[in-house]
Amino acid sequence: MRPMERCDVIVVGAGMAGASAAYWLAERGRVAVLEQEEVAGYHATGRSAAMYMETYGGPLTRGLATAGHAFLAEPPAGFAASPLLSPRPVLYVGRADQVEALDRLYGENRPRVPTLARLGPAETLEHAVPLREDYVVGAVLEPAAHEIDVDALHQGYLRGLRARGGRLVTEAAVTALVREGGLWHAETAAGTYAAPVVVNAAGAWCDVVAALAGIAPLGLQPKRRTAFIFDAPAGDGADDWPMLHDVGDAFYVKPDAGRLLGSPADETPSEPCDAYPEELDIAIGADRIMQAAALDIRHIRNKWAGLRSFVRDRQPVAGFDEAAEGFFWLAGQGGAGIMTAPALGALTAAIVTGAPLPDEASARGITVAQLGPGRVR
């Protein structure tokens, strides 16, 4: 029989969600993070577009992104070797039939994000990207959006976890979860781990992990999203372009290390899996981008897909299951699990340990009840 390791909290999954929660939890107890893959960050976390936007998703997601800004802008000393954020404004563009959507986006967000600007056609066309004059009638500019150094953030959390005495165990898929004697016992090929609390941060697999413990699912739906890299026009300073984002969420394109990253912003329902891109989705994305901007998407240099996982109301869940003692859900981050991780990780540690919620979150009206799984049951 393999030895059993006793700790205070088991975290299942070492993506951005698990890593951020484990970092804060390790400050207050012994933490083991169990990851099925050889490398942490192999799934959704390693496949994102790396954006920080305060206008993205629903109200809770937006509040969480804003609450996490201070950490991203000024992480603790020694957390990362270089800044985690670099400026990348977002230009939400619209056609004549999307004027209402532009106005709505602006109206909903302007009170919270005072730097937001509503642009007419001429001002929109000034923004360097070769937008087609007969396509675009206006835009909303989010000037204070940023790119996140996802790897530095993720590795910073994992380094901090280790420095605080926590453990990351890779190639340790949790295959059984049993509650016995007030402890959850998580069985893996690397041994059994036991703790009073388990944090389910398994990304697209959160419902699968709950089923191992005999717990009712949240109805989490993983959705595939495709990204592809193509050449920027020669000598055009494309590195400085804003991210171009369709206001109806039908495509986006942004600079990426000297080239451009495009996406059809697809949301194809999927089983939890190692997601792969479909040629048709790439063709759809390229076509939509070329309708909006005079770009020539001939050679696809790289492509990938990842799963963004949603519960019914498309807002993240962070809270204890009402029916299963010590089982904590950290799920449903959708398309915002990188930008919301600083706030959600700290909130998870506060809720698990019964500490007051971080000021950054409570100042934005974020409550335990709002975050909990009861909301979607």
Ligand X SMILES: Cc1cc2nc3c(=O)[nH]c(=O)nc-3n(C[C@H](O)[C@H](O)[C@H](O)COP(=O)(O)OP(=O)(O)OC[C@H]3O[C@@H](n4cnc5c(N)ncnc54)[C@H](O)[C@@H]3O)c2cc1C
265 binds ligand X (CB under 6 A): no
CA distance 337 to 214: 26
253 binds ligand X (CB under 6 A): no
**From the CB of 293, what's the least distance to ligand X, in Å?**
19
198 binds ligand X (CB under 6 A): no
Nearer to ligand X, 99 or 211 (CB): 211
Amino acid at 103: D
265 with 241: CB under 8 angstroms?
Answer: no
Of 41-49, 105-113, 158-166, 281-289, the window that binds ligand X (rule: CB under 6 A) is 41-49
Which listed residue (5, 37, 103, 108) binds ligand X by CB under 6 A?
Answer: 37
Of 12-20, 104-112, 120-128, 280-288, the window that binds ligand X (rule: CB under 6 A) is 12-20
Amino acid at 203: G
61 binds ligand X (CB under 6 A): no
Site for ligand X in 177-196 (CB under 6 A): none
**From the CB of 134, what's the least distance to ligand X, in Å?**
29
18 binds ligand X (CB under 6 A): yes
Nearer to ligand X, 120 or 276 (CB): 276
Which listed residue (47, 62, 88, 303) binds ligand X by CB under 6 A?
Answer: 47
**From the CB of 91, what's the least distance to ligand X, in Å?**
15
Which listed residue (10, 32, 34, 168) binds ligand X by CB under 6 A?
Answer: 34
**From the CB of 185, what's the least distance to ligand X, in Å?**
14
Question: What is the torsional sign of CA 116, 121, 123, 128?
Answer: positive
223 binds ligand X (CB under 6 A): no
CA distance 24 to 164: 9
Which listed residue (17, 129, 295, 350) binds ligand X by CB under 6 A?
Answer: 17
72 binds ligand X (CB under 6 A): no
Which listed residue (29, 138, 203, 326) binds ligand X by CB under 6 A?
Answer: 203
Of 42-50, 83-91, 122-130, 134-142, the window that binds ligand X (rule: CB under 6 A) is 42-50
318 with 371: CB under 8 angstroms?
Answer: yes
Which residues contribute to the site for ligand X (CB under 6 A)? 12-18, 34-37, 42-45, 47-51, 173-174, 201-205, 209, 225, 227, 306, 308, 333, 335-339
